[in-house]
């Protein structure tokens, strides 16, 4: 890896990330003093929620980076042509842009790529701080187990490695899709971490433990993650444009498809893995599998929401699930019939991240011995 990665600007990029992390830290301090938070666990939960919010932003901005073809805006990692920002790399970017004005390297794309890295560094700094603070305050009553933020820290390190390989392997589809799923995993981990620190409602928690809906909710989460992986594969391969109508595709219910090529995982961007360009049939196979899987996931979400609605303690969760199903349906259809507009594509990614948050929040219940936000 050492030959692929220029570590010279790593410290500078990390410092910029630390400055980014100061913003949610300041927000937590202001909010905490305004609401009178007392006790370490309350502050720990507030900081976890701030980190979760920044991670959601990072997932959406990562999609923006990918959808604007800015993933190679800076062709090295972690800096930009060995500098911590595109300012220092201006002359080199000018040269690359002059050679290929509409290519992957322009000043705008370089800034988009570096802002994404700054946000990622900020999330990493916050998670590292959460881990250190959790171990330092582990003996305090009501504190979160330090293994939660430690696991999240391992995740953010692995996600950083995926980010490096995304650039050095030139947007290799399998790596880019893995990077997207990694971002969603981070949303799930931080949601669970915050959720176990919520103030417990004995009635709701007890009802959930006795509910047969738990297994169904877990199944829906698994189905949703599989569908998100398929969606990442569609986006990475630009297979959205293989079909431009609904419910038909290319004027047919079952167009020509090449599943072997479409789902050959070890292949470069735009290639078929055998030295040629991927065919329309391969792209169509990717698109149609995602479309058919969407029907299964939507039906599963609606069924789970109906079950939650019938259980009186979970009607708010049911409404949220119905709303997310509707949002994903509308943004998914908009991607197809409107030719993959940026707003709809970003909305679809945001909906996926919020769905992970909502389902994990439902599945992970507060611990049996809740802390009081105002206890010391």
What pLDDT was estimated at residue 7? 67
Residue pair 30/361 in contact (Cβ under 8 Å)? The answer is no
Dihedral over Cα of 339, 344, 349, 354: its sign: negative
Dist. CA 234–CA 244, nearest whole Å = 14
Q: Could you give the residue numbers annotated as active site?
A: 113
What pLDDT was estimated at residue 222? 98
The pair of structure tokens assigned to 125 is: 């700094």
Q: Which residues of the chain have pLDDT under 70?
A: 1-7, 368-376
Helical pair 213-236 and 342-363, crossing angle rounded to 10 deg: 150
Give the residues across from 78 on adjacent strands: 6
Dist. CA 376–CA 206, nearest whole Å = 26
Residue pair 230/332 in contact (Cβ under 8 Å)? The answer is no
What pLDDT was estimated at residue 113? 96
Q: Is the peptide bond before 165 cis (omega within 30 degrees of 0)?
A: no
What pLDDT was estimated at residue 5? 59
């Amino acid at each position: 890896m050492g030959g692929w990665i220029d570590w010279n600007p790593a410290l500078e990029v990390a410092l910029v990330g630390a400055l980014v992390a100061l913003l949610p830290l300041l927000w937590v301090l202001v909010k905490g003093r305004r609401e009178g938070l007392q006790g370490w666990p309350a502050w720990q939960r507030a900081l976890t929620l701030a980190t979760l919010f920044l991670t959601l932003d990072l997932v959406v901005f990562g999609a923006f980076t990918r959808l604007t073809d800015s993933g190679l805006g800076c062709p090295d990692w972690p800096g930009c042509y060995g500098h911590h920002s595109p300012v220092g790399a201006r002359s080199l970017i000018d040269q690359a842009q002059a050679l290929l004005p509409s290519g992957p390297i322009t000043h705008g794309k370089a800034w988009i790529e570096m802002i994404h890295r700054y946000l990622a560094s900020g999330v990493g700094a916050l998670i590292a701080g959460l881990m250190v603070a959790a171990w330092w305050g582990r003996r305090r009553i009501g504190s979160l187990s330090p293994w939660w933020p430690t696991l999240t820290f391992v995740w953010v390190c692995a996600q950083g490695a995926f980010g490096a390989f995304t650039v050095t392997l030139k947007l290799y589809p399998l790596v880019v899709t893995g990077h997207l799923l990694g971002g969603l995993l981070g949303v799930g981990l931080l949601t669970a971490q915050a959720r176990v620190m919520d103030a417990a409602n004995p009635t709701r928690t007890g009802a959930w433990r006795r509910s047969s809906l738990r297994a169904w909710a877990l199944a829906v989460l698994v189905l949703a993650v599989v569908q998100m992986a398929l969606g990442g594969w569609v986006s990475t391969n630009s297979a959205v444009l293989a079909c431009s109508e609904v419910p038909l595709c290319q004027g047919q219910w079952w167009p020509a498809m090449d599943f072997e090529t479409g789902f050959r995982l070890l292949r470069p961007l735009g290639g078929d893995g055998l030295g040629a360009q991927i065919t329309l049939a391969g792209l169509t196979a990717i698109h149609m599998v995602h479309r058919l899987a969407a029907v299964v996931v939507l039906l599963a979400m609606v069924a789970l929401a109906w079950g939650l609605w019938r259980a009186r303690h979970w009607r708010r969760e049911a409404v949220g699930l119905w709303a997310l199903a509707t949002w994903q349906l509308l943004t998914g259809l908009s991607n197809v019939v409107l030719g993959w507009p940026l707003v709809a594509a970003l909305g679809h990614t945001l909906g996926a991240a919020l769905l992970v948050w909502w389902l994990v929040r439902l599945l992970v219940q507060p611990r049996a011995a809740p802390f009081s936000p105002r206890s010391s």
